[in-house]
Chain A
Amino acid sequence: MIDQLGNGLLLGIIISVASVALSLLYSVTRIVNFAHGEIIALGAIMTLFFSNPVDSRVIYLDRFSPLGLDFVISAFLAVILCGVFGGLLELILFRPLRKAEVGNIAILVVTIGLSIFIRHLYLIFATGRVQNFPLELERRVTYLFFDMTPRNFRVLIAGIIVMVLIGLLLTFTRIGKAMRAVRDSGELASISGINSDNIILITWISSSMLAGLAGIFQGVINDIRYNMGFLILLLVFAGTVLGGIGTSFGAMVGGLLIGIFVQVSVAFPFMEGHIEAKNAVALGLMIVILLFRPQGIFGQKERIS
């Protein structure tokens, strides 16, 4: 079981970063974004596109021949591109929908449509093949109780640092406070002189950058597929709900727990030969926890006044 803890932490950090991103967007805009998975995949696919060696022709159609940039630079560019993509989604799609006062359920359906649409664009342009980043294979090393490759260990550390940073930004910076203010009431934020539209745009950009980063982590730890974001999205939702909808700290912890539940459950005796059912244990546990704490682990009951 301990063997699986390392894998659990790695899956957990992917889910955790993606959950924080999802939760941030939800809490500020009230949008349940089913296209979140596609932004996760965009991070990995763009990194692959930038970093793959120039002579490899397998991935993209010939005219999209890869660039062969350094991996870290590629990842950096991909994260920025994800931010731009998220910003464009807000400007072109979600802001006009909001101004037209389209209801939350309709917007949710729009994100589902968007998710399917983008995922199939990936299928066309990035093919259905399972890919890997052009990185050397590494041997596992033991860190305290768990083994993982040095690269994956660095991913874990990077994920933790990113989340601490997010926490600090949300708590102490002007923009972070304004995001929390818009979460409480967009109208009151405007009345206070804040341009809520700008804050929502910044939220879309940051959420998409985080999602892209989660996708890059997923690509490093596992592999890259056109539907990788869609495959992990359910676990990301589970992490968000488990931690308490709308709390960033809750999403971090909830995401990590879901990752650990999923991987550790592989080691349960009754799971032998049923590894493909590992998500079931994690989601079952989530349901049990929610029965006892409906608002999620760190969520607060709405105070009615």
Chain B
Amino acid sequence: MNNPILECNGIAAGYVKGLNILQGVDLVVSEGEIVSIIGPNGAGKSTLLKAIMGLINISAGRFFIEGLEKTNLPTHKIVNEGVGYVPQVQNVFPSLTIEENLEMGSWSLGKNAKQSINELYQEFPLLEERRKEKAGNLSGGQRQILALARALVTSPKLLLLDEPSAGLSPLAIDDVFKTIKNINLKGVSILLVEQNAKRALKFSNRGYVLDQGRNAYQGTGTDLLDDPRVVDLYLGKL
């Protein structure tokens, strides 16, 4: 197997002091992999991504990016370590234009931002067409694409995606998954949180099932799909 790009060991974290939502999560994403996290509502999937991004405090455990410990680094520094993150909600700046959204995404690049944005436009012609429009006026699917593009403009090594397909039409979902696959083919490792568990597992190299702040099961995508316990618990109703 390839080198691990992200390695979490026993991460515990929460929103309020003394009340941990995550109670020891272990997880590895290796270079070039797509790894998905599934689990019921409230399991702590989004919370795990927020903890890695330094948005909430990690009270126990640690995590490493390419072997170096980055636990509880301020958010803007995690970004500079080559981690892109698309949150579940509020993932574009609605009052900024599409171009300004991408400029903010490329904040850490300084002078090279223009060039990266132009390169990104070649991949997402729709965004270039509407670059002067406010992001708040985009449709849900277009907004998700912009959110992905905003996270991609710094060319991250690892992309954390929180339910990128939530609330989209089947056609738009196909589009988003296709885009994610393309990103991955360019060598970006992906940690994906998904409600659409079957689809996510089929799409990923490996998966983790998170339940009540702990890993319950893990395995390759197909293994988990075939595992009767996982099906019973989390897939049966879908």
Chain A residues with CB under 8 Å of chain B are 174, 177-178, 180-181, 183-185, 187-196, 303, 305
Contacts of B53 in A (CB 8 A): 191
Tell me if A193 and B90 are in contact (CB < 8 A).
no
Size band of the B side of the interface? Answer: 20 to 34
Interchain CB contact (< 8 A) of B104 among A187, A189, A195: A189
Known pairs A187-B55, A303-B136; A192 contacts B104 (CB<8 A): yes
**B107 at the A/B interface (Cβ < 8 Å)?**
yes
Contacts of B94 in A (CB 8 A): 184, 303, 305
Tell me if A180 and B93 are in contact (CB < 8 A).
yes
Tell me if B76 and A194 are in contact (CB < 8 A).
yes
Encode B30-46 as 1/0 by CB contact (under 8 A) with A. Answer: 00000000000000000
Instruction: Report Cα–Cα, A194/B77, bound state, in Å.
Output: 9
Tell me if A191 and B74 are in contact (CB < 8 A).
no
Tell me if A177 and B96 are in contact (CB < 8 A).
yes
Interchain CB contact (< 8 A) of A187 among B79, B90, B105: B90
**B103 at the A/B interface (Cβ < 8 Å)?**
yes
Tell me if A177 and B76 are in contact (CB < 8 A).
no
Name 10 extra pairs, CB < 8 A, besides A177-B103, A188-B92, A190-B55.
A174-B107, A181-B104, A188-B93, A191-B87, A192-B150, A193-B79, A193-B154, A194-B107, A196-B76, A303-B94
Encode B129-166 as 1/0 by CB contact (under 8 A) with A. Answer: 00000001000100000000011001000000000000
Contacts of B91 in A (CB 8 A): 188
Interchain CB contact (< 8 A) of A188 among B74, B90, B100: B90
Tell me if B108 and A185 are in contact (CB < 8 A).
no
Q: How far is the CB of A203 from chain B (nearest CB, A)?
A: 16
Instruction: Report Cα–Cα, A178/B110, bound state, in Å.
Output: 13
Q: Which 3 A-B pairs have the closest CB atoms?
A: A190-B75, A193-B79, A193-B108
Instruction: Report Cα–Cα, A178/B79, bound state, in Å.
Output: 16
Tell me if B87 and A192 are in contact (CB < 8 A).
no
Tell me if B75 and A184 are in contact (CB < 8 A).
no
Instruction: Report Cα–Cα, A130/B90, bound state, in Å.
Output: 50
Q: How far is the CB of B17 from chain A (nearest CB, A)?
A: 10
By beta carbon, the residue of chain A nearest B110 is A174
Contacts of B85 in A (CB 8 A): 191
Interchain CB contact (< 8 A) of A192 among B55, B74, B95, B105: B105
Chosen A-B contacts, 18 in total, with CB atoms closer than 8 Å, are: A177-B104, A178-B104, A180-B96, A183-B95, A184-B95, A184-B96, A187-B87, A188-B91, A188-B92, A188-B93, A191-B55, A192-B107, A193-B80, A193-B107, A193-B154, A195-B74, A303-B94, A305-B140
Contacts of A181 in B (CB 8 A): 93, 96, 100, 104
Contacts of A190 in B (CB 8 A): 55, 74-76, 79
Tell me if B93 and A184 are in contact (CB < 8 A).
yes
